[in-house]
A and B are shown apart, each in its own frame.
Chain A
Amino acid sequence: MCDELICRCEEVSREEIEAAITDGAVTMNEVKRFTRAGMGLCQGRTCRRLVERILSEKTNTPLSEIQTSSYRQPVRPVRSDLIQEYNNLEEEQ
């Protein structure tokens, strides 16, 4: 109950993110790879800003200088057969 979840999709707590930063993560992508925060269904829509702020505070770096996460399609949760369908469409082109 005292856990403060940051990434709800992947159930990553503030403690886990802070531990990743203590272990050396300094960019958004590094925090993602250490903890999976931002890699769930919503792809970081909610927690991205929260993680950026924690990174900024823990590493004493202005928010403007925090290296943002990279983006990949699909940016919405979709069924895997629709990804296959998209790939087929692309090949036809």
Chain B
Amino acid sequence: MIEIELAIVGAGPAGLSAAIEARRAGVDVLLIDENARPGGQLFKQIHKFFGSRAHKAGIRGMNIGTELLQESEKFGIKTWLNGEVCGIEDGHNLWVVRNREKSEIVRAKKIILATGATENAVTFPGWDLPGVMGAGAAQTMINVNRVLPGKKVIMLGSGNVGVIVAYQLLQAGAEVVAVLEAAPRLGGYGVHTAKVCRAGVPFYVSHTIKRAFGTDHVEAVEIVKLDSSFKQIPGTEHVIEVDTICLATGLTPLTELAWLAGCKFNFVPALGGHLPIHDDKMHSTQNDIFIAGDISGIEEASTAMEEGRLAGINVATELGYITKEEADARSQEIWDNLNTLRSGYFGQKRRDAKDSMLQNGKEVIKWNIH
């Protein structure tokens, strides 16, 4: 058994940021990630980030990833890669399978769950054919593994993931035959949408996929128009030849470990579904378990990094490495950043959902812990 002050599950933007803040304060940290390299989804994000300048706007995601890794190396943060956290018991003991060949128990005084999210599926006859994949998976293939998933791609979903990946597929040499959006209006940032538009890709609003055709892989897709209540309109179908169907239909937080740990949950559709209740310190309803990043609500890498810092600082405070006064001052600064990130046309909805979560967290966690 390995004993540690703080174990962090997930070395994406939230987990890395948490590890850096906690280690900076003096906490003995172990960062665990199931992948072969740290950074989460940052290294496939070759586009420039949005937001204020203080938030790395204008910097490409992969470069933010490199900065975080350099900092984590500077602090000598212990990191287990290829480490799958399979379970959690007594609120402190993590069952970790290392390199798929050895079970270990990590006993941590505090745990931060920064497990991220998984892509949502949409089903239609033929969706299980090879060639149907999450847009994020396609993005990993082109930007990390340098493999083109197909030559003629259709994208379902016009949110940021859909338009960003559509553009990157074009850059990688694929033809994007169309972007479909079930809603009557497009969902992504104008700047990303416009780039795809200028490249000549047609957008179909109020449209979805009815079925995919093919024997051993996707050969064509049938699309159909939707009415205002999202019902398919018969007679509006048409078939397009494609070899790849990308689904960019949202993300779901990876919450299994939080459920296992006994955290209480709220259902918040605006943030991705069932989420562990948390307060403004990123504390869950379990005494020594904190959360940060997409597990606390689907947002962006910029908010994930701020939440990770909050969790790291508050863990360090509970372990006695930072005074409460210092923690409060630094938390206030981070909250100012978060509130800026959660503003404007796209951010306000998340801000409102987060505010009601925090209000709820304040009430529930007060009763559970103190």
Binding site for B on A (CB under 8 A): 1-6, 8, 14, 43, 45-50, 63-64, 68, 70-76, 78-79, 82-83, 85-86, 89-90, 92-93
Contacts and interface: CB of A to CB of B under 8 A. Distances in A.
Interface string B236-274: 000000000000000010101101100001010100011
Contact of B128 (A8, A49, A71): A8
Interface string B67-90: 000000000000000001111110
Interface of B: 1, 34, 84-89, 95, 97, 100-105, 118, 120-121, 123-128, 252, 254, 256-257, 259-260, 265, 267, 269, 273-274
Contacts, number: 87
B1 A93 contact: yes
B86 A73 contact: yes
A62 B90 CA distance: 33
Given A3-B125, A86-B87, 10 more contacts: A2-B125, A4-B125, A68-B265, A70-B259, A73-B95, A75-B256, A76-B34, A78-B84, A82-B101, A89-B105
A78 B256 contact: no
17 contacts: A1-B126, A4-B123, A5-B123, A5-B127, A49-B120, A50-B121, A64-B269, A68-B274, A70-B259, A74-B86, A74-B97, A75-B256, A75-B257, A76-B86, A78-B103, A82-B101, A86-B105
A48 B128 CA distance: 16
Contact of A50 (B97, B123, B125): B123
B97 A78 contact: yes
A82 B1 contact: no
Contacts of B267: 63-64
B105 A93 contact: yes
Nearest to B252: A49
A75 B123 contact: no
